[in-house]
Chains A and B, each alone.
Chain A
């Protein structure tokens, strides 16, 4: 199941050139760039692992691409995203976030039911990371 999170996630995966161009845009706006990775793309999982410190005062995308490649080398089968943080007063938040790497087999998000008081049904999403068992849809 293709996870759609962040900017550009309904488009085909960005090439390295396109990623560089987006990073250039972020740097032009003086945003600090951080790289994060995770194996659990659950929409409620906001805490991805950080790949090194966020990068401040960069001028060119080549520096970020160096780190992206290093992160891909270490975690080829993880989701990797780039966050661009805007420190301008009034924003002080992530302005742009996009996925730059996906696992070959993406996990599924399934709907899980749970029984609550008085036969009330509660629903939640669950990430199923392992590959599908034959016979199941």
Chain B
């Protein structure tokens, strides 16, 4: 398409009609160190799938996200309704079957392979956003609600609010045995609670504040999803972005909303906060934003800016999944019962051992990082006593953050492996539960009682295989990260690389052994 240029011959003949431009004397943007800062994370131009006209046309379509959300929206409102009104047999109820035998596992597959694919089609945020924008897909100029910003006192902790929400939800899930699955109505109430919370946040705060800070899954997807092969929407030419006078990708224009996730494609260096909503792509006046794919694990290894919230999220989420493995062991059951007796708490899980277990693992990881700090003295950055949690720097953080990024594949594999038994044992029940809605499925059907893998040993083998893959990936990422960021001043690069990879290996082995032990306990 031919575009008018300010200095085209035709334009020169026109008289000055916009004197505002003469009075604008904005400074040039600071470009010092720009290349070094972003070169490691900038995807290759050849990996921009939006260069294909058909893909571009799909991405530019305002109905795209609506079409992604709609099927999930229908399914989850069915989940709410059928969970409350349908059969109380969890395996036969569509709500519990689709949620716990299929969806939760699929979410992990999507995050490991793509990143925030689920966020692009999430019915919870999608519903809130439809209400907030009072439109299913059109670009509206006003929004419903108060439009507040998340206070800095909360926002500075990034994903940690989400981790808190995930820990709380998981505790509730364990307490009421929702995902067991237990009573289908519990699943309905849980989904309703998430939809309601999302709606409340969308009406109080602006953009996707809920998805960015509060959604129970956002920390998990943001950290584990960095293993994914979709880099997200990024700039094609950073100079164009820096000199852009309107920043429509952030503010929005007639074609698209400003980024609901507070992410600027011009400075995005990982896929952690790109919700793949396509709004920036639609809004960019210069066609300077692409949808890039990347090699797996790139967003784990490459970012030059390590985020403290991601690191602590990884440590705490690792603690949570370890807790969920340990709680199947007999020794733990005795501890939990003992605590319940002495704290007059009615049943599993006792909050004390729940918190202690999760934070214990996180603190253990922090202690190991501190050990690295002691052993490998490096040229760590000068400490910055910033009042903001995210911008503070310290010698400890210079080890803790890279090491936690390094074990992301172990944590990701662990969460995925933990969902496998339900998937492998009960996936056929999803089909039966759909049939049951039409009066044809029953617990006595052969399909209901069939499994993808029925034997305990088979499931353990798959889980261990997943952990082997995750551990190998974590060893590789730890090796690469340590080689780049943790090289000691007076020591061997290899030593720190072996140590970091060793941490990943030990983490993976512990998890794998726990899978063997917990299945034996079962």
Q: Do A and B come from one complex?
A: no
Q: Which residues of B contact A (CB under 8 A)?
A: none
